[in-house]
Structure 1
Amino acid sequence: MDNQCYESYPGWMVVLSNALTISIYIIGAFILYGLGIIFTALYLLFCLFMEIRLLKKGCVNCYYYGKTCAFGKGRLSSYLFKKGDPELFSQKDVSWYTVLPDFLVSLIPITGGILILVHEFNWLILILMVIIFILSFAGNALIRSLTCKHCRQRELGCPAAEIFNKS
């Protein structure tokens, strides 16, 4: 399989990557519903905030701004925000500390699930916690292995690739 860079990602990759993300959000919301509608609403607002933050702070500076990236967000960002400076994308400092909010999308429902299980054991909640854990780590790793190797921005400089793809 060749590692050519895509100018526009195939639709199936966009659908697959977004299906993973949406699945994590839905499962997380379902788990947190066990703690009450307020926790569910706050979680979904957090997920929305994370998406807007990505579109506004990252996608506007990406090579794929206005194009179909592996996540479809380059095109979406161009409808919502003005183009940024592509030089800023590769200069962004990314560390484990800066990606912590991204991990919270999964860790919040897992923590909520633990609280639910301590109060009253529920097999469905436990199974969903395992599923969200697998999707968040193995699922995201799979998506990245399918998409990052075809990314033009990775070749131009991607701080996330530098942190996650260290040899």
Structure 2
Amino acid sequence: MGDPPEFDEWVAARGRSLLRLAYVLTGNATDAEDVVQDALSRALPRWSRIATVEDPDAYLRRMVINAHTSSWRKFRRRESPVSEVLGTSVEAVLPDDALWQACRRLPEPLRTSVVLRYYEDLDYAAIAELTGVREGSVRSRVSRGIALLRTELGDEHE
């Protein structure tokens, strides 16, 4: 095994996949960029250690998920949602896709599990490791999330 990649090289090669993951978790590009930037800014000082772990990609995905979780917890504590957004509406910025909109309405733990399972194509054990819950809980979250999506969307998205 050769030398671990430099941080800049790794980000150039894998940064887009982190951004895609963050986008699916957050629902918009601005929040996704903030989440990835937060995760990468935390990873940089520890890169010499992170680069030597068995799977740096999984480590950084976990950091992105943690940064996302922290961001929505902060949002719930500090900001108050309003019924109408002045200027551009959120619906105008997001894709007009019924499945995507339904997925965004899932509770956070269910959405994270469904996204990691079907968008990132991770197995249940990997999701359990990334999210810090038992594999059985991941299976339950994915199952409940898919059931809610089927209920909301009906047969049109089978």
| TM-score for both structures, normalised by structure 2 | 0.33
Comparing both chains, which one has the higher relative contact order based on Cα–Cα distances under 8 Å and sequence gaps of 6 or more?
1
